[in-house]
Structure 1
Amino acid sequence: MDDRGDRRGYRDTDRDRDDSRRQDDYRRDQSGISASSQQVTNIKDEYDSSYYRSAIGPRSSSVSAKKTIPASSIVMERFYAYGAGGIPLKPGSKSAAVVAIKENREREKRELGQLNDRFASYIERVRYLEAQNKKLQLELDHLRGKWGQQTSKVKEMYEVEIQEARRIIDETAKDRATAELRAKRAEEDTKNYRDKYETLLAGRDSDRQKIDVLQKQLADNEADLNLFRRRLADLEDESKRYRLESQKLISDIQRITQELDQETISRVQLENEKQSLEEEINFLKQIHVQEIEELKQTNLTGTALDPSNFFKHELSNAIRDIREEYEQLNNQQRTELESWYRIKVRFVWYKKLNNFQTSSSLLNVT
């Protein structure tokens, strides 16, 4: 307790004198800390980009007191140990991963703040120890002139304490650099996950729009398909009807053709009969002319009977009957030919109409 009171007294009296020395020693310590922190830069390669686990955990400290020599002060030695803990991030549910990353990031920020505070306290303690070291160095110089070899032992004792303090500062700087690297990696991972999440959201929206367009096209195609099916059914019914009509017309044409053939044969026969009758008329004319000549030669006269007029009248009646019969037969054949011609024209017209409707339906379907 007396040694601690002496320290506080020396610190109050020598503060103004040691300000410049503290600044010089602080710059020297900062250069040593930066050199030790460069050894931690290669820790970045140990972390995977897909999974991240925080290595910052609760700290445990142990304080040990060691008395050096009876006349000197008690040196406090503090050792810090760091535990590991964290939350694994796996590519499962993206919303849960983002929340976990945010929570982990906030926790690591708080821990970084605590580390910075502790690091500042360590720096302050190092400054204090350096000031004490310088003060003790002066005491050693003063005592060295009095005691001689005992000053070397005091120097070795305080050098051990200074080395321990520097080791603690190096470890703290290393832990701080590690925590900063982890925080930076956590920020990068959070940004990557946010970009992936936004990309997935944009892809989902575009896929929904495509699905809506495809569903609309599918409905339109189904409606067109049903319309085409109805048109096809109507065309099939109409085709069946035209097929039946065409079969009926074909049978009528075949029947009329047969009748026409028969009529043609009968016409040929009648023409033959006509020719034979005309030959017979000519023959009868010749006979009648000869009979008239014979009657003229016999010089038969009479007022009651005129043979020339009688035969002439009979011949004209026979010729008129034959002509009427021939004209009647000719008119009948002409009527049959005209009806056959009309049926043929009607069949050709129906056929052309059917072909036109079939081609129109095919064009509408395509």
Structure 2
Amino acid sequence: MATATPVQQRAGSRASAPATPLSPTRLSRLQEKEELRELNDRLAVYIDKVRSLETENSALQLQVTEREEVRGRELTGLKALYETELADARRALDDTARERAKLQIELGKFKAEHDQLLLNYAKKESDLSGAQIKLREYEAALNSKDAALATALGDKKSLEGDLEDLKDQIAQLEASLSAAKKQLADETLLKVDLENRCQSLTEDLEFRKNMYEEEINETRRNHHVSTLDGRFTEPSFSQLLLLES
């Protein structure tokens, strides 16, 4: 309940008296008091609004805190899950890398053996060509009509022995050459298969690496967006006065 001011009391006591004009000084004081009262009323309204906003702000801060706690628990669980998956992926990458290194070592060995087989094959080809040349030379010597009969008979016996030896050598060389060709073909197929497996493992390793890096980056981006959405800025007192005006 508002208390009557001295001006109001004096105005009431003089209600029966004839009205007299007020002096400028008194009018100025009355206006100042009226303005002060209005300012006090507005200040009271502002204070009530500030208290109301502070109450709402406290409630909002509580909600933000609760949501941050929930998101923290969710992110903790999600982080543990992705750390487990990342550990599994790293183990898989390590296993793949070890398998790839092992295959590369085996591939190097097979390449060395393949090169050695090529050298052996070339040498046996050369030996076979030399034996065939000698065979033709001996056959030509046997068929030579200019040689004496005695010399021819002696040479023939010797040459026939050499010929049989050469035929045995040729048969052995041809058998060795055939085996070398078969082994070379088998080693070539095995080499191609190992190179294909090595290439496949390399591509699979790169694919898994890119996939897990993309998942980790996506998780980080989602966490950053959630953190930005949870921010709250409290209004200042000057902003509240601007809202009222």
Give the alignment's TM-score, normalised by structure 1.
0.43
* AA in 2 matched with 1:351: T
* AA in 1 matched with 2:129: E
What is the distance in 1 between the residues matched to 2:76 and 2:209?
19
Q: Superposition pairs for residues 3-42 of structure 1, below 5 Å?
A: none
1:357 to 187, 208, 228: 208
Q: Is the 8 A contact 1:108 1:183 kept in 2?
A: no
Q: Which residue of 2 aligns with 1:30?
A: none
Tell me if 1:191 matches 2:42.
Answer: yes
Q: Which residue of 1 aligns with 2:136?
A: 285
Give the C-alpha shift of residue 208 in structure 1.
4.2
What is the distance in 2 between the residues matched to 1:280 and 1:312?
10
Tell me if 1:118 matches 2:13.
Answer: yes
What is the distance in 2 between the residues matched to 1:263 and 1:205?
82
Give the C-alpha shift of residue 283 in structure 1.
0.4
Relative to structure 1, is the Cα distance of residues 204 and 188 closer, same or farther in structure 2, using a 3 angstrom cutoff? same
Tell me if 1:251 matches 2:146.
Answer: no
Count of matched residue positions in the alignment of Structure 1 and Structure 2? 202
5+ residue gaps, structure 1: 1-102, 125-169, 300-308
Q: Which residue of 2 aligns with 1:323?
A: 174
Q: Which residue of 1 aligns with 2:92?
A: 241
Q: Which residue of 2 aligns with 1:107?
A: 3
Give the C-alpha shift of residue 258 in structure 1.
2.9
Which structure has more relative contact order (CA 8 Å, sep 6+)? It is 2
Helix, strand or coil: the match of 2:4?
helix
Give the alignment's TM-score, normalised by structure 2.
0.60
Relative to structure 1, is the Cα distance of residues 252 and 117 closer, same or farther in structure 2, using a 3 angstrom cutoff? closer
Q: Is the 8 A contact 2:138 2:163 kept in 1?
A: no
Give the C-alpha shift of residue 352 in structure 1.
1.2
In terms of fraction of residues, the more helix-rich structure is 2
In terms of fraction of residues, the more strand-rich structure is 1
Q: Which residue of 1 aligns with 2:242?
A: none
Give the C-alpha shift of residue 118 in structure 1.
3.0
1:261 to 109, 112, 115: 112
What is the distance in 2 between the residues matched to 1:274 and 1:234?
58
* AA in 2 matched with 1:281: Q
5+ residue gaps, structure 2: 151-159, 219-245
Q: Is the 8 A contact 1:246 1:347 kept in 2?
A: no
Relative to structure 1, is the Cα distance of residues 268 and 347 closer, same or farther in structure 2, using a 3 angstrom cutoff? same
* AA in 2 matched with 1:355: E
